[in-house]
Chain A
C-alpha cells in the first residue's frame, strides 16, 4: 500500500488495478466488490424497463453506475477488521439506496403513469429523519432530494455543477450554499421523479434549505406540510412547541394518507433505533481509547445514512451493526491497529465536502491522520422512550433538534465551538481538520473565534476550504494541498505515503 498513488491513472484517478492488500484482504475486498455489483444488477432486474427509462430520463442516474468506484475510494488502504467493517457499512448503504432508486422509478408517474405505488408515497425533505414515519408502516417515505442529488453528489463529483449552473442562470446568487442550490437546479430541470401524495418540508438544516422549499413547492405542486424544529433547542422553553410540531405532522400525515399512527409499530422501530444507538456509542467509546477501530469516512457516512433513512425501521441496519460490533470488539481486545501508522488523532469539524467524502481516507493514508470523531457523526445520541407515548414524543422532538448539521450550526455558538473543544479533549485529539465550507453562513460567522480559541489551546488546527457540492470552486486536489502545506511547513512532517501527496483527480467520478 505504501505507494497507493501509483495505482491512479492520470486525471481520472481510476485505479489501474485493484489494490493488493495481502491474499485474505484482497480476496475479501474483491468479494465485496462483486456484492456491490450484484446488488446493483438485482435492482435493474427487479424492474428493468423502469430502470432503463430512469437511466435515460434522469441525468443523475448515470452517476450511480460508478458506485463500485465510490466504495473503492472509501476503502482505499484499509486492512483487516477495519476493511471488513467499512465494507459491511457501505454494502448496507448500497443495498438500501438501490431499494430507494427502485421504488422511485416504479412509482414515478413520468415513467409509469397511473401507477398505484405513487399515492402510497410521502415525500419528505431529506433532512427530516425517518423515525416519525415508522408509525405509518403502510406508507412509503421517500426523502425527496437524497437519491437525485445528495447521494449522487457523493458518488460522482461531476453531477452537481450542471444543476448549480441551472439555478444560477435562474438568478439565484452563486454565493449561496450549493446543496440547496443544487436541489433547486434539479427542480428547475424537472429531474425529480414525479410521485407522492404529499410532501413534508422542513426548516432543517439551514437558511438555504428553508428558502429552496418555495422552488420545490412550485415544481411539485403537492399538498405540503411545513415541519418546524426549534432553533434555540437547548432550552426547555422550546420543547412544548417541538412536540406540538410532531403532533401536527402526524395529524397532517393521517389526514393525507388516511392511515392512523401506529404506536406499536413506532415503539418497535424505536427499540431497534435504541439498540443501534447502543452499538454506535460503543464505536465512539472504542475510538476514545488508544485503539480506535473505525476511523475515516465509513464512520460518519453510515451514521447519517441510517439515522436519516432508516430510523429503526429497516432491521437490516441493526444486523449489520451487530456484525460490525463483533468484529470491532474482537479487534479492540486484540489491540489491532486501525491503520498502518497512526500519527495524529484527528477530529474533523464542520460540514464535509460531498464531492470528497473520502477525504478522511486520504488523510489517513497520506499523513497518518486518523479521524476518530467528526461533526456529522455527533448527531443525536438520545434514546427514545418505547413505552410512554408522551415521553416518546418528547424524546423524538429532542432527537430531531439534534439532527444532521443543524445540531451544531443552530442554537448558538456553544453548540459548535465549545462542543468541538469538548470532543477534542474527550477523544484525546491533537489535530483538528476544520472544513471551511465557504458558503456556510452559520460556520463562516465563527471563523475568527475558532482561530482565536485554537491558538489558545495550542492545537494543530488545519483549515480546509471547500465548497460542499461544487468541485470547480475548490477541487479535491486543492483540499489536499491545504493539508500538505500545513503538514510540511508548520509541522515539517514527511508523508506516510509520498505517492498520495499530489495527484490529479479533477476528472474523476
Chain B
C-alpha cells in the first residue's frame, strides 16, 4: 500500500508531548489541559479556548528519579509520566484534570502538586471522585463532580466559558473527530483492510494528544485519501486480532504485533478508539452535562467498573468486536504492575476462551516497546495457533461437506 500522506508527519508529531500542534494552539492563546484517563470526559476539556492533551511520555528512557519517588513496583506509564514531568516535559500545561481511578496514576499526578512540577502560578490539579457502577444516583454524583472539579475550576481560574452552548460546540467538534475516526476505523472490518492497525493507532493517538481543531484537517484529508486507497493484493497478515487491555500509547507495540504476522483490527485499550471515538448524541431539552457524563459512563470499558452487569458487558463487547471486525482471536495485554488489568486479563481471557470460544492470548508488557523480544515470540506463537485452528476448521468444514 502507498503510505498515507500524513503518516510520517504524525509519527514525528507523536515523538513529543509538547508537539508542534500543541505549541501552535498555545501560541494562539489556547489553554492546555492534561489528563490521563477515560473517567475525565475529554470533551469537557475542549470547551471555549481549552484543548485536551492526553498525557504520554514518548521516547522514555531512564526512570530513575520516578523510581525513587514511586518504587520499582508501579506501572511504567505512571512512572514515565512522573519522570517526564520532573524533566519539565509538561511545563506547557495549564492544568491537570484527574480522577482517583487507579492508585498508581493517582499517585503520579499527586506529585505534580507535591513537587510543584509545573512552573505556572495558575496551574491547578484537581481530582474527581468517579463511581464504580451506573445508577441514577451515581450518574448524579459524577455530573456533580465534573461540574465542580472540571467546569467550575476552569471558569474560576481561567475564565473559560462552560455554558451549555460552549459544551454543545465542543461536542460538535468532538463528534466530527469521532465520525472521521469511525469512518477510517471501519475499513479495518474489510477482508483485506486498506489500513493497518499501526496506521490507525498513529491517527488515533494524534486525536488524543493534539488540539482537535488542528488535527481535524489532517483527519479529513486522510479519510478522503483512504476512500480510494487500494490494499496490497497479497495479504500481509496471517491472522486478525483484537487487542484489549491497559494503557497503550506506544504505536511500536502495534507495529511489533503486525510485524509478527497479526493485524490489529480493533483497539479496545486505554488510548484506543473502542471506546473513545464514538459520537455523543445530545438530545434537545435534556441537561447537556448529564448527557455527556452518561455517555462516558455507559461507554467506558474500564475494569474498574465492578458491577456485575458491567463485567458481563465488557466480555460481550469484546466478543462483539471479534464478530464485527472478523477477528480470529483476542490478545489481552496488561501493562506490568497494573492491578486492574492484571486481574481482568486473567479472568477475561479464561472466560473468552472457555465461555465464548474465542481463541485468546494474555500477555504483560512494559510501557515502551523496546526490549520486547519476548512479546514478539508470544505474538508469533499466538498467530501460529490461530493459523492451526483455522486450518483445522477448514478441514472440518470440508469433511462435513
Chain A residues proximal to chain B, CB less than 8 Å? 170-173, 175-177, 180, 184, 201, 203, 206-208, 210-215, 217-218, 224, 226, 228, 230-233, 235, 237-238, 240-241, 244-245, 248, 409-413, 436, 438-439, 441-442, 444-449, 451
Residues of chain B in range 61-83 having any CB-CB distance to chain A below 8 Å = 68-71, 73-74, 78
- Contact between chains at A226 and B70 (CB < 8 Å): no
Binary contact readout B126-154 vs A (1 if CB under 8 angstroms, 0 otherwise): 01111111010110110011001000000
Shortest CB–CB separation between residue B279 and chain A, in angstroms? 29
- Contact between chains at A448 and B69 (CB < 8 Å): yes
**20 A-B pairs with C-beta separation under 8 A:** A170-B346, A173-B337, A175-B336, A203-B306, A208-B339, A208-B343, A214-B311, A214-B347, A217-B308, A226-B133, A226-B306, A238-B129, A238-B141, A240-B144, A241-B141, A248-B135, A412-B100, A441-B104, A442-B106, A444-B73
- Contact between chains at A231 and B100 (CB < 8 Å): yes
Shortest CB–CB separation between residue A306 and chain B, in angstroms? 28
Interface-centre pick from A218, A240, A442 (highest chain B CB count, 10 A): A442
Chain B residues proximal to chain A, CB less than 8 Å? 68-71, 73-74, 78, 100, 102-104, 106-108, 110-111, 114, 127-133, 135, 137-138, 140-141, 144-145, 148, 303-304, 306-308, 311, 334, 336-337, 339-340, 342-347, 349-350, 362, 364
Cα A447 to Cα B336 in complex, Å, equals 19
Across the interface, which residues of B come within 8 angstroms of A213, CB to CB? 306
Cross-interface CB contact of B304 among A210, A232, A444, A448, cutoff 8 Å? A210
Interface-centre pick from A235, A238, A241 (highest chain B CB count, 10 A): A241
- Contact between chains at A444 and B74 (CB < 8 Å): yes
Known: A175-B336, A206-B103. A211 touches B343 (CB 8 A): yes
- Contact between chains at B100 and A232 (CB < 8 Å): yes
Cross-interface CB contact of A215 among B68, B69, B347, cutoff 8 Å? B347
- Contact between chains at B69 and A175 (CB < 8 Å): no
Cα A177 to Cα B339 in complex, Å, equals 8
- Contact between chains at A226 and B307 (CB < 8 Å): yes
CB closest chain-B residue, reference A247: B137
- Contact between chains at A445 and B129 (CB < 8 Å): no
CB closest chain-B residue, reference A184: B343
Determine chain B's interface SS by DSSP, over half rule. Answer: helix
Cross-interface CB contact of A211 among B107, B128, B344, cutoff 8 Å? B344
Shortest CB–CB separation between residue B310 and chain A, in angstroms? 9
Cα A451 to Cα B140 in complex, Å, equals 40
- Contact between chains at B71 and A228 (CB < 8 Å): no
Shortest CB–CB separation between residue A221 and chain B, in angstroms? 11
Across the interface, which residues of A come within 8 angstroms of B345, CB to CB? 171
- Contact between chains at A172 and B103 (CB < 8 Å): no
Cross-interface CB contact of A173 among B106, B144, B306, B342, cutoff 8 Å? B342
Shortest CB–CB separation between residue B65 and chain A, in angstroms? 8
- Contact between chains at A172 and B133 (CB < 8 Å): no
Interface-centre pick from B111, B114, B144, B343 (highest chain A CB count, 10 A): B343
**What are the 5 tightest A-B residue pairs by CB atom distance, in nearest-first order?**
A445-B107, A448-B69, A211-B343, A171-B346, A241-B141
Cα A211 to Cα B306 in complex, Å, equals 7
Known: A411-B100, A449-B114. 17 other contacts (CB 8 A): A173-B336, A173-B337, A207-B304, A208-B339, A210-B132, A214-B343, A214-B344, A215-B343, A226-B132, A232-B128, A238-B129, A240-B141, A240-B144, A412-B100, A445-B71, A445-B108, A448-B69
Cα A180 to Cα B145 in complex, Å, equals 29
Cross-interface CB contact of B107 among A201, A244, A442, cutoff 8 Å? A442
Cα A207 to Cα B344 in complex, Å, equals 12
Cα A210 to Cα B364 in complex, Å, equals 20
- Contact between chains at B343 and A412 (CB < 8 Å): no
Across the interface, which residues of B come within 8 angstroms of A449, CB to CB? 69, 111, 114
Cα A237 to Cα B146 in complex, Å, equals 11
Across the interface, which residues of A come within 8 angstroms of B103, CB to CB? 206-207, 409, 441-442, 445
Across the interface, which residues of A come within 8 angstroms of B342, CB to CB? 172-173, 175-176, 211
- Contact between chains at A214 and B145 (CB < 8 Å): no
Interface-centre pick from B74, B127, B347, B350 (highest chain A CB count, 10 A): B347
- Contact between chains at B104 and A224 (CB < 8 Å): no
Across the interface, which residues of B come within 8 angstroms of A237, CB to CB? 129, 144-145, 148
Across the interface, which residues of A come within 8 angstroms of B303, CB to CB? 211
Across the interface, which residues of B come within 8 angstroms of A226, CB to CB? 132-133, 306-308
- Contact between chains at B133 and A173 (CB < 8 Å): no
Known: A218-B347, A441-B104. A173 touches B308 (CB 8 A): no
Cα A208 to Cα B129 in complex, Å, equals 18
Shortest CB–CB separation between residue A422 and chain B, in angstroms? 17
CB closest chain-B residue, reference A436: B71
Cα A201 to Cα B148 in complex, Å, equals 29
Shortest CB–CB separation between residue A293 and chain B, in angstroms? 36
Cross-interface CB contact of A241 among B110, B111, B138, B347, cutoff 8 Å? B138
Across the interface, which residues of A come within 8 angstroms of B108, CB to CB? 445
Cα A207 to Cα B339 in complex, Å, equals 6
- Contact between chains at A170 and B132 (CB < 8 Å): no
CB closest chain-B residue, reference A210: B306
Across the interface, which residues of B come within 8 angstroms of A171, CB to CB? 345-346, 349-350, 362
CB closest chain-A residue, reference B314: A214
- Contact between chains at B73 and A441 (CB < 8 Å): yes
Cα A409 to Cα B362 in complex, Å, equals 30
Shortest CB–CB separation between residue B272 and chain A, in angstroms? 20
Cα A208 to Cα B343 in complex, Å, equals 8
Across the interface, which residues of B come within 8 angstroms of A232, CB to CB? 100, 127-129
- Contact between chains at B129 and A441 (CB < 8 Å): no
- Contact between chains at B107 and A446 (CB < 8 Å): yes
Cα A203 to Cα B131 in complex, Å, equals 10
Cross-interface CB contact of A445 among B70, B306, B334, B347, cutoff 8 Å? B70
- Contact between chains at A412 and B138 (CB < 8 Å): no
Cα A451 to Cα B19 in complex, Å, equals 35
Across the interface, which residues of A come within 8 angstroms of B362, CB to CB? 171
Across the interface, which residues of B come within 8 angstroms of A235, CB to CB? 129
Cross-interface CB contact of A444 among B71, B110, B346, cutoff 8 Å? B71
CB closest chain-B residue, reference A451: B68
Cα A184 to Cα B347 in complex, Å, equals 11
- Contact between chains at B141 and A176 (CB < 8 Å): no
Cross-interface CB contact of A410 among B100, B334, B349, cutoff 8 Å? B100
Shortest CB–CB separation between residue B123 and chain A, in angstroms? 17
Known: A237-B145, A241-B141. A207 touches B102 (CB 8 A): yes
Cα A409 to Cα B102 in complex, Å, equals 12
Cα A448 to Cα B145 in complex, Å, equals 30
Shortest CB–CB separation between residue A471 and chain B, in angstroms? 18
Across the interface, which residues of B come within 8 angstroms of A238, CB to CB? 129, 141, 145
Across the interface, which residues of A come within 8 angstroms of B304, CB to CB? 207, 210
Shortest CB–CB separation between residue B143 and chain A, in angstroms? 11
Cα A389 to Cα B145 in complex, Å, equals 26
CB closest chain-B residue, reference A203: B132
Shortest CB–CB separation between residue B278 and chain A, in angstroms? 25
Shortest CB–CB separation between residue B107 and chain A, in angstroms? 3
Shortest CB–CB separation between residue A426 and chain B, in angstroms? 23
- Contact between chains at B132 and A228 (CB < 8 Å): yes
Cross-interface CB contact of B69 among A210, A212, A244, A447, cutoff 8 Å? A447
Known: A444-B70, A445-B103. A173 touches B131 (CB 8 A): no
Cα A172 to Cα B346 in complex, Å, equals 5
Across the interface, which residues of B come within 8 angstroms of A180, CB to CB? 343
Cα A241 to Cα B102 in complex, Å, equals 20
CB closest chain-A residue, reference B104: A441
Shortest CB–CB separation between residue A444 and chain B, in angstroms? 4
- Contact between chains at A441 and B350 (CB < 8 Å): no
Across the interface, which residues of A come within 8 angstroms of B102, CB to CB? 207, 441
Shortest CB–CB separation between residue B200 and chain A, in angstroms? 28
Interface-centre pick from A231, A244, A412 (highest chain B CB count, 10 A): A231
Cα A442 to Cα B141 in complex, Å, equals 24
CB closest chain-B residue, reference A450: B69
Across the interface, which residues of A come within 8 angstroms of B100, CB to CB? 231-232, 410-412
Known: A211-B342, A228-B131, A449-B114. A248 touches B137 (CB 8 A): yes
- Contact between chains at B137 and A241 (CB < 8 Å): yes
Shortest CB–CB separation between residue B381 and chain A, in angstroms? 16
